[in-house]
A and B are shown apart, each in its own frame.
Chain A
Amino acid sequence: MSATTTDATLAWDDVLAAFDPVLGLEVHVELGTNTKMFCGCATEFGAEPNTQVCPVCLGLPGALPVVNEVAVESAIRIGLALNCEIAQWCRFARKNYFYPDMPKNFQTSQYDEPIAFEGFLDVELDDGSTFRVEIERAHMEEDTGKSLHVGGSTGRIHGATHSLVDYNRAGIPLIEIVTKPLRGAGERAPEVARAYVATLRDLLKALDVSDVKMEQGSMRCDVNLSLMPKGTTTLGTRTETKNVNSLRSVERAVRYEMCRHGAILKDGGSILQETRHWHEDTGITTSGRVKSDADDYRYFPEPDLVPVAPTRETVESLRATLPEPPAQRRKRLQSDWGFSDLEMRDVLNAGLVDLIGETVEAGATPAGARKWWSGDIARRANAEGSTDVASYAAERSITPAHVVELEGLVTSGRLNDSMARQVWEGVLDGEGSPTAVADARGLELVQDDGALEAAVDEVIAANPDVAQKVRDGKVQAAGALIGQVMKAMKGQADAGKAREIILAKLTS
């Protein structure tokens, strides 16, 4: 094992000049079901070790697995959202291998009869163009247990004396989504890989089938890559880089493997078909094990489970539950809300789309919803280490209704803009609803025209030179007078109204 040696890499431009990359992506998604794939054990993340296990998921003799109906429905919905065909009839298979993370000595998976096959996902790239990712299959399987290697210094297996296994995760439903070999991405291959995983993540989130948290491992990506010398069409030998678990890493891993393959091939060497390990810290991959052939897994139909044969009525009723595709939804909302591309991107990056949607639905203007949710509250959430405004707000019981109420106070003329800001601050400080804060802080525009007129008269009398300029037609000079009036009114006046009165007195 040569985890410390660094492989040679070819310069990026030289790779592109000589080779075309062929990408393949395998994404595993843990479903968010209450129970495991084949037993009623809970799937709670972070439970005490081995507290969510039973004879079925421990592989004890005589246990009988039974398929989770919600997991099958989720698999079908995922397949449909990926524009796949749904199998009329398919079986589970045993994938035999000996490793302590699988107590049964086989993983129950699907082999040549996946529940969903032959689909595609259109992926939008940074330049606005679309790349169609062909999907080969999406199949059902189960997750493995988690090993803790002890005795070594780093928690890794090297130097470990033994491993401690927790089977809480063993048997949690997984959907594995496999693309066809993707050609023609060229220099955009790293970007295509990242954009595909991001688009898939958004889609799965919209389907509400998984929490798709890459950092917690509920969505994991394996990157297959090979290079074809330019002008040829025969696929090269591929490597499979395992567990690339962030969007940025997906992009970096593709790029790194392209450069590593390029260096070997340019030297006349050949690629070893193997799994590679991705190292987030150094941005390189290292050799893993030589990949087993499918033969080595001795797949055979699982005799303890009967086939899954969804009726076409079931499939169609599940199709009716599909959400609007996220990309389409974004475009529709942007146009409904009248946001510029930049505004929409900011809103998306800040994760505010749903919150703004709810706020608009509750009666606010889109511009108002965007303004209040992306201003002070985003800064505060950020300062307190929260990246998610929606949950920050929810924790403090700040709701879309508050924004609607605040906006109402402005449009009704009770508050001007700077007062509204003060009120919102009070709401964020937990002082109550906007009306309550405005009442408590005595914030209210003076509606008494008499007081305002008196202030205007005083200011005109105190600034005869300026007043004369306005009389002479220099209307912009009124600004100085308005400022003085607002000051005299301690900010609690409508500046527009003050201007009206000043102009009426000086120019009519």
Chain B
Amino acid sequence: MAELTRDDVAHLAGLARIDLSDAELDRMVGELGVILESVAVVQQSPIEGVEPMSHPMPIVNVTRPDVVRPSLGADAALSGAPESDQQRFSVPRILDED
């Protein structure tokens, strides 16, 4: 596996909308590198001929009928929000996008 670079970390931080200082970026390259290295051990597993698995149970087609069930209600829905206004979740504006 290719080494994690400082640019990779900066790119990921941008996607996750986390503002990292230069010092934090440097630190994260090291810390994330250690994590990746540790996890990379699984890549040594002999997987020849083994199909990738996305679900532990071999079941398909679990569906529900298209019948309306009660929703939470706006008060309950908003109760966990740090801020709300006009019965809506209030969030900081997202920069650089329209």
* A136 to B10 Cα, complex, angstroms: 34
Query: Is B59 part of the contact surface with A, judged by Cβ < 8 Å?
Result: yes
| Stretch of B31-39, B42-50, B60-68 contacting A (4+ beta carbons < 8 Å) | B60-68
Name the residue of chain A whose CB is nearest to the CB of B97: A289
- Count the B residues whose beta carbon is within 8 Å of the partner chain — how many? 38
Shortest CB-to-CB span from B82 to chain A, Å, is: 12
Main secondary structure of the interface of B (DSSP, over half): loop
Q: Are B60 and A148 in contact (CB under 8 A)?
A: no
What are 6 residue pairs bridging A and B, where the CB atoms are less than 8 Å apart in the complex? Answer: A48-B74, A50-B77, A162-B90, A167-B89, A277-B98, A303-B55
* A308 to B60 Cα, complex, angstroms: 6
Query: Is B57 part of the contact surface with A, judged by Cβ < 8 Å?
Result: yes
Given contacts A157-B97, A158-B98, A165-B88, 8 further A-B contacts (CB under 8 A): A33-B66, A34-B66, A50-B77, A54-B69, A157-B94, A157-B98, A164-B85, A308-B61
Residue-wise, chain A 137-172 has the 8 Å CB interface mask toward B (1 for contact) of 000000000001111000011101111111100000
Query: Is B54 part of the contact surface with A, judged by Cβ < 8 Å?
Result: yes
Q: Are A289 and B66 in contact (CB under 8 A)?
A: no
Q: Are A34 and B68 in contact (CB under 8 A)?
A: yes
Residues of B within 8 A of A12 (CB): none
Residues of A within 8 A of B60 (CB): 89, 306-309
| Stretch of A95-103, A217-225, A424-432, A483-491 contacting B (4+ beta carbons < 8 Å) | A95-103
* A209 to B85 Cα, complex, angstroms: 35
Q: Are A55 and B72 in contact (CB under 8 A)?
A: yes
Residue-wise, chain B 72-98 has the 8 Å CB interface mask toward A (1 for contact) of 111001101000011111111110111
Name the residue of chain B whose CB is nearest to the CB of A159: B93
* A50: contacting residue among B54, B69, B87, B98, CB under 8 A: B87
* A53 to B69 Cα, complex, angstroms: 10
Q: Are B90 and A69 in contact (CB under 8 A)?
A: no
Name the residue of chain B whose CB is nearest to the CB of A51: B74
| Stretch of A35-43, A185-193, A258-266, A370-378 contacting B (4+ beta carbons < 8 Å) | A35-43
Query: Is A381 part of the contact surface with B, judged by Cβ < 8 Å?
Result: no
- Residue among A50, A52, A157 with the highest chain B CB neighbour number at 10 A: A50
Q: Are A164 and B86 in contact (CB under 8 A)?
A: yes
* B64: contacting residue among A66, A103, A308, CB under 8 A: A66
* A301 to B52 Cα, complex, angstroms: 11
Residues of B within 8 A of A1 (CB): 98
Q: Are B68 and A165 in contact (CB under 8 A)?
A: no
Shortest CB-to-CB span from B9 to chain A, Å, is: 14
* A288 to B97 Cα, complex, angstroms: 7
Residues of B within 8 A of A162 (CB): 90-93
Query: Is A271 part of the contact surface with B, judged by Cβ < 8 Å?
Result: no
* A160: contacting residue among B17, B78, B86, B93, CB under 8 A: B93
